[in-house]
Amino acid sequence: MEMNNQEKGFTLVELLVTMAIMGLIVAGIYNLFDVHNRMAAKQEETTLMQQELLSLMVMMSDELRMCGFTANASAKDAKTFGFAHRPGANDPDSRRITSTTQIYCTLDGLGNGIINEGGNGSSADHVAYALNVNGAGNPDTSSAHRNIVKKYYTGAANMRWQPAATNIRELNFTYFDVDGVEITNPSANLNEIRSIQINATATASPERSGMNIPDRQMSSTVFCRNMAGR
């Protein structure tokens, strides 16, 4: 009877080569998965930035368009409502400013012909927006307030500015008179304002700031029809 001494299988070199090839394949699959996840995250963040910009611009435009509105004849004659400038820190002014970086105006939201500073529904008489401010309206670029657009509400002291939009890096206002000429000093020419150009820039959230996602910008022009005839 003949003995068969042939051995079948893989050599150590063949096993090492196979393992190396498998490692390359796994690394390639992981890299593909990582790239896909990054692309999906960028697309998601870009969509969120655009949505935040759009919602902010629509909200500001709708409210600013009503600046100066009143159905009360006496208030209309007295020009009670319109753009205003109250730069005092804390109460009672809470830094409600009309400038190139902030905006403030009033309208007869409650329909009683006066500017209500408190009480139910009194926030409807005020339209004010600012970037990088704390609850009292004072400038604050700390992480808790940075890149946050806040809107003014009547209510508890030092808590009247509440978040309206997040991840907004820049917010600027340009004012124009009835002839379309830019008003470079709006706080000194409040009754001359007839239209406003709003420019806002959204940036990626802090969690995704390292992904090199480009900023998104949006611009809108608002005509304040209720300011006519001043």
pLDDT at 28: 81
pLDDT at 116: 97
Q: Is residue 132 part of a domain?
A: yes
Across the chain, which has 230 residues, the per-10-residue mean pLDDT values are 61 79 83 81 94 97 98 95 96 95 98 95 97 95 92 90 97 98 98 98 94 96 91
Q: Is residue 17 part of a domain?
A: no
Q: Is residue 165 part of a domain?
A: yes
Q: Is residue 2 part of a domain?
A: no
Concatenated DSSP letters for the chain?
Answer: --------S--HHHHHHHHHHHHHHHHHHHHHHHHHHHHHHHHHHHHHHHHHHHHHHHHHHHHHTTTT----HHHHHTT-SSB--B--SSTTTTTB--SSS-EEEE--SSSSSS---SSTTGGGGEEEEEESB-TTS-B--STTTTTEEEEE-SSSTT--EEEEEESEEEEEEEEE-TTS-EES-GGG-GGG--EEEEEEEE---GGGGGG-PPPEEEEEEEE-GGGTT-
pLDDT at 8: 66
Domain containing residue 167: 38-227
pLDDT at 7: 60
Q: Is residue 6 part of a domain?
A: no
Q: Is residue 159 part of a domain?
A: yes
Q: Is residue 16 part of a domain?
A: no
Calpha distance 98→128 (Å, rounded):
9
Phi then psi for 74, rounded to 5 degrees? -65, -45
Say how many domains are in the chain.
1
Which residue is it, tokens 């070199």?
Answer: 13
pLDDT at 39: 87
pLDDT at 91: 86
pLDDT at 19: 84
Q: Is residue 107 part of a domain?
A: yes
* Cα distances (Å, whole numbers) of residue 83 to 103, 144, 200, 223: 8, 29, 20, 13
pLDDT at 192: 97
Calpha distance 162→98 (Å, rounded):
18
